[in-house]
């Protein structure tokens, strides 16, 4: 067989990778599942030579200027990644199927460090399963405007089993569906779990402008049995039930700044 002579070899280096995680799938980021769909990004800050490859739950980044051409075949030294100057990218990420809420993000990319960013399901994209969940609409007290993109955290007391933490996010209308994944069956002789619900939101938030969940601020919630507000709403939850959460004399869950 005639040997093939390699005249030159093009080498491309992956610059970095973003992993998109489902924030409702676990309490801790390290345990969260990747999205099973590809996302789209609208970047307002990026190097001119940046290239992106979208696959389910992951975005690969590389720079056209980072590649090189080597005469003949490459060796291990040729393959070594050069140190890269870090660069900022920022913008909005969205799911075209609308199963996840859009969000803003900003990272310092380069040198294949890897970044994990969390998205939360829309009410349409929330899968409740057998454990049940909570649903409702968040509105600011007084003006009655929806608390768009607000983040909800449900902490369920499991007694000797510790606490179960579940999270969800309101959509552009303030509507939410929070799944209680991993909630175990009730122990014998117990008819409900005790839980607390907290909410973080932004009063000037706009439905047309997705935000970074890290920018949300703690809110007070309107009680269900009295015209009062507190930082946490006490609830009782039962596995398998989908409960509608409302404040006293309202058709929604009222929130106000602390």
Question: pLDDT value at position 76?
Answer: 66
The 10s digit of each residue's pLDDT in 128-141 is 989 999 999 999 99
Q: Which CA distances in Å does 57 have to 21, 30, 54? A: 7, 14, 8
Per-residue pLDDT in tens (0 to 9) along the chain, 258 residues: 566 665 566 666 789 999 999 999 999 999 999 999 999 999 998 999 999 999 999 999 988 766 556 556 766 666 667 788 999 999 999 998 999 999 999 999 999 999 999 999 999 999 998 999 999 999 999 889 999 999 999 999 999 889 999 999 999 999 999 999 999 999 999 999 999 999 999 998 999 999 999 999 999 999 999 999 999 999 999 999 999 999 999 999 999 998
Short-list 257, 247, 166, 167, CA closest to 205: 257
Q: Which CA distances in Å does 101 have to 151, 199, 220? A: 11, 16, 23
Taken as a whole, the chain contains a residue count of 258
Domain limits, CATH 2.60.40, in the chain:
129-257
**Cα separation of 138 and 135, whole Å?**
10
> Which run of H or of E encompasses 104?
strand 103-109
Q: Which CA distances in Å does 103 have to 89, 142, 151, 154, 158? A: 14, 27, 12, 21, 32
The 10s digit of each residue's pLDDT in 203-223 is 989 999 999 999 999 999 999
CATH value of 129-257 in 3.90.1570, 2.60.40, 1.10.3470, 2.30.30: 2.60.40
pTM check: above 0.75 = yes
For 134, the token pair is 């909570």
């Amino acid at each position: 067989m005639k040997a093939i002579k390699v005249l030159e070899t093009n080498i491309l280096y992956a610059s970095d990778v973003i992993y998109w995680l489902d924030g409702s799938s676990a309490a801790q980021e390290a345990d969260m599942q990747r999205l099973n769909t590809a996302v789209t990004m609208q970047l307002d800050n990026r190097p001119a030579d940046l290239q992106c490859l979208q696959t389910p739950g992951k975005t690969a980044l590389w720079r056209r200027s980072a590649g090189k051409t080597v005469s003949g075949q490459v060796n291990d030294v040729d393959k070594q990644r050069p140190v890269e100057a870090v660069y900022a990218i920022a913008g909005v990420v969205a799911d075209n199927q609308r199963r996840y809420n859009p969000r803003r993000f900003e990272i310092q990319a380069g040198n294949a460090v890897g970044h994990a960013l969390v998205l939360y399901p829309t009410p349409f994209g929330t899968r409740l399963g057998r454990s049940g969940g909570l649903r409702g609409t968040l509105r600011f007290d007084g003006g009655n405007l929806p608390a768009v993109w607000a983040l909800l955290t449900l902490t369920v007391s499991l007694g000797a089993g510790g606490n179960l933490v579940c999270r969800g996010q309101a959509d552009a209308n303030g509507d939410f569906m929070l799944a209680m994944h991993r909630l175990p069956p009730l122990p014998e002789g117990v008819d409900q779990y005790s839980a607390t619900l907290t909410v973080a939101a932004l009063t000037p938030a706009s439905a047309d402008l997705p935000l970074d969940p890290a920018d949300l601020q703690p809110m007070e919630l309107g009680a269900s049995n009295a015209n009062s507000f507190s930082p946490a709403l006490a609830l009782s939850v039962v596995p398998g039930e989908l409960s509608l959460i409302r404040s006293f004399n309202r058709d929604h869950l009222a929130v106000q700044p602390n």
